[in-house]
Amino acid sequence: MKDLTFMSHGVRCAAWHIPAKSNALVNAAGRPCIIMASGFGGTRDTGLLDFAKPFAEAGIDAFVFDYRGFGASEGTLRQNVSYMHQREDYIAAIDAVRKLQDVDPNRIALWGTSYSGGHIVAVAAQDPRIAAVVSMTPAMDGLAALLQIRRYAGMSPLIRAVAHGLRDLGCKLTGHTPHLIPIVGQPGSTAMISTPGAEAGYIAVSGETWRNEVCARTALEVVYNRPITFATRIKCPMLVQVGTHDQVAPPNSARQTAKLAGAYAQLIEYPVDHFDVYAGQWQQTLLNDQIIFLTKNLKPKAK
């Protein structure tokens, strides 16, 4: 595993490059590579290597990076989840990977989970050279997510989130230190994610660089993050893995995204909640399906 950096909009981002352990998928142009980043508020050491290393064993390079302002990446504004900036970081990572020695620039796949599972749909829709997409328990529609929160917890959490977001926006406008709130917490708390079991599930896979805090201003833009609107523009194979009991990322939004993508999408559902996919039996099950999908769609084309 190699430590690398790349530039995204003037900020240096940190990445791990894990070269493939097998030549099973190599061709004259090099090996395929999958680009990976974490979900909402996560870091590259938060559960991603449990997927990346098996990809490398299967013959696929893995490139695992931290967004600007998170983990080992630079950035003066720390812990700010901006979906637009994070999509830009994916695009910058793609550009960096296409320049790596021994990597086939035309066999680049994107992997994402939760928030990043939506990012990669928007990014792939705008880059016709992307070869495949793996979207695991994705957040495809911010509006639908807010409506789901209202159904299971009422309006109070949404009102609190907006209040904290406005307070942080005030900090931004006046040049004060950002107002932070927890990423994940117990039901009824001020955390951005507070579904039952979410706190234990997230912390169980968190890495050393992960911090359970985020700029509250992100609460004001979640509703505008709607990767589902890019679905009809997808022109590469896409695996969409849905948790039937997902309380964080609405399953119906993921199903509808796959439907809109038409023949390019493969939809698989699992009887799990949002954080069940990062460890144990279900992590292995989803990983195996990902490897089957990627091996099929990244294999060298017959001459």
- pLDDT at residue 290, as a whole number: 98
User: Tens of pLDDT along 46-83?
Assistant: 999 999 999 999 999 999 999 999 999 999 999 999 99
Nearest to 87 by CA among 10, 143, 8, 202: 8
- pLDDT at residue 161, as a whole number: 81
Give the number of domains in the chain: 1
- 3-class DSSP assignment, residue 215: strand
- pLDDT at residue 158, as a whole number: 77
- pLDDT at residue 303, as a whole number: 60
d(CA 178, CA 107): 40
What's the sign of the alpha-carbon dihedral 277, 278, 284, 286? positive
Edge-to-edge strands, sheet with 132-136? 2-8, 11-18, 61-65, 31-36, 103-113, 132-136, 238-243, 265-270
| CATH number of the structural domain spanning residue 237 | 3.40.50.1820
- 3-class DSSP assignment, residue 44: coil
**Does residue 204 fall inside a structural domain?**
no
Question: In terms of residue numbers, what domain contains 84?
Answer: 2-143+226-298
Paired residues of 103 in beta bridges:
31
**Does residue 178 fall inside a structural domain?**
no
Please calculate the CA angle 229-119-211 and round it to the nearest 5 degrees.
Answer: 140
Please calculate the CA angle 235-53-293 and round it to the nearest 5 degrees.
Answer: 30
d(CA 92, CA 17): 15
Q: Taking each helix axis from N to C terminus, what angle separates 49-57 and 280-298, rounded to the nearest 10 degrees?
A: 40
- pLDDT at residue 296, as a whole number: 97
Structural contact between residues 215 and 247, judged by C-beta atoms closer than 8 angstroms: no
What does the pLDDT profile of the chain (303 residues) look like in tens digits? 899 999 999 999 999 999 999 999 999 999 999 999 999 999 999 999 999 999 999 999 999 999 999 999 999 999 999 999 999 999 999 999 999 999 999 999 999 999 999 999 999 999 999 999 999 999 999 888 777 766 666 667 777 888 898 999 899 999 999 999 999 999 888 899 988 999 999 999 999 999 999 999 999 998 899 999 999 999 999 999 999 999 999 999 999 999 999 999 999 999 999 999 999 999 999 999 999 999 999 998 866
**Does residue 220 fall inside a structural domain?**
no
Structural contact between residues 118 and 138, judged by C-beta atoms closer than 8 angstroms: yes
Paired residues of 239 in beta bridges:
134, 266
**Does residue 29 fall inside a structural domain?**
yes
Helix (H) or strand (E) segment spanning residue 34: strand 31-36
DSSP secondary structure letter of residue 27: B
- 3-class DSSP assignment, residue 25: coil
